[in-house]
């Protein structure tokens, strides 16, 4: 389940790149349905001190652009690298050479990474007009370099299409890597996985609050699904069914570090099984189902609202 992107890049400091260009510079996108804008992504100049390199940054940047739904990067990177080498030798941008590659937009940049800080600066150019569209600089700690590139792509999507990007989104999911089901989060591309819950219970069905600051999930005591002498249940609420009741808890995202899980009042420790939570768009209400036992296919399930 994806989280809103706005909060998730908040730890990065974003500034306008120098020099500042006139805001009237705009790229007019006139594409048919399904057509994508062609973007050239040369290697960024810089030193990543082993944390990020030219190829790493281009790989993430290209992946994000190609998965945005709006852009397609120039596939022949050898031609892209040759054009970039020509620009670096001349100290200028040869716009006709980039256009000859079929590109419509060019993203150039540089980066630096030390033991305690990381910075990436990028400029986006309209190749037909031969002008920069906008520039941005992202500053953070070295471990945030992927987040900085994700943020850059979302800014490109916003500036060129007017739509919100998805690259800084987070996904909440369940894994039993520890032996019990726990809640984890990761970047939308599967990287940067972090465990949120750490209480060795059954934690399932996470849902984000709209601002991305918290998650709500179902929690129940960990127990064996089968015990000696147990018969196969034939129907929901069969007396032979394993008794298990879920409570709803909310936990802070906290940049992937989690925190203390707090029971949701009215949806926990009420003698019922409380499951499948969803949060209202304003973040004030939680709608969920309540039943006598378990969570799937319960004929006695009813919808409830908690605050």
Q: Where in the chain is the domain with CATH 2.120.10.30?
A: 170-306
pLDDT in tens, 216-260: 999 999 877 666 777 788 888 888 788 899 999 999 999 899 999
Q: Residue 279: what pLDDT? A: 98
How far is residue 281's CA from residue 249's CA, in Å, rounded to a whole number? 18
How far is residue 223's CA from residue 245's CA, in Å, rounded to a whole number? 11
Q: Residue 10: what pLDDT? A: 44
Give the alpha-carbon dihedral of 28, 32, 33, 35, to 10 degrees: -80
| Cβ(105)–Cβ(27) below 8 Å | yes
Mean pLDDT computed over every residue of the chain:
88
pLDDT of 64 above 60:
yes
pLDDT in tens, 81-102: 999 999 999 999 999 999 999 9
Q: Where in the chain is the domain with CATH 3.40.50.10070?
A: 5-161
* Superfamily of domain 5-161, CATH level 4: TolB, N-terminal domain (3.40.50.10070)
pTM (two decimals): 0.84
Higher pLDDT, residue 235 or 168: 168
pLDDT in tens, 15-39: 654 333 334 445 555 555 568 999 9
φ, ψ of residue 192 to 5 degrees: the values are 60, 50
pLDDT of 194 above 60:
yes
In which band, very low, low, confident or very high, does the pLDDT at 193 lie, cut at 50, 70 and 90? very high
What architecture does CATH give domain 170-306? 6 Propeller (2.120)
Q: Residue 296: what pLDDT? A: 81
């Amino acid at each position: 389940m994806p989280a809103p992107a706005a909060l998730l890049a908040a730890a990065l400091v974003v500034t306008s790149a120098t020099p500042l260009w006139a805001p009237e510079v705009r790229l007019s996108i006139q594409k048919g349905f399904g057509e994508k804008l062609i973007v050239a992504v040369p290697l960024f100049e810089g030193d990543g001190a082993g944390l990020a390199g030219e190829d790493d940054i281009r790989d993430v940047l290209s992946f994000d652009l190609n998965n945005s739904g709006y852009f397609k990067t120039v596939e022949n990177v050898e031609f892209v690298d040759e054009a970039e080498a020509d620009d670096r030798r001349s100290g200028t941008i040869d716009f006709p050479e980039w256009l000859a590659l079929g590109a419509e937009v060019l993203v150039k940049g540089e980066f630096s990474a030390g033991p305690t800080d990381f910075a990436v600066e990028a400029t986006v150019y309209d190749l037909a007009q031969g002008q920069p569209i906008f520039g941005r600089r992202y500053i953070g700690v070295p471990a945030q370099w992927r987040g900085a590139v994700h943020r850059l792509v979302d800014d490109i999507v916003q500036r060129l299409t007017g739509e919100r990007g998805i690259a800084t989104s987070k996904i909440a999911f369940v894994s039993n890597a520890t032996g019990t089901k726990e809640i984890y989060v990761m970047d939308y591309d599967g990287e940067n996985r972090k465990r949120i819950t750490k209480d060795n219970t059954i934690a399932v069905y996470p849902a984000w609050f709209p601002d991305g600051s918290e998650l709500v999930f179902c929690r129940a005591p960990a127990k064996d699904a089968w015990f000696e002498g147990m018969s196969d249940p034939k129907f929901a609420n069969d007396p032979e069914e394993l008794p298990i009741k879920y409570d709803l808890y909310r936990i802070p995202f906290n940049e992937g570090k989690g925190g203390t899980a707090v029971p949701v009042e009215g949806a926990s420790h009420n003698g019922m099984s409380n499951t499948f939570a969803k949060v209202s768009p304003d973040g004030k209400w939680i709608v969920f189902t309540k039943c006598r036992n378990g969570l799937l296919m319960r004929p006695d399930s009813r919808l409830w609202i908690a605050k």
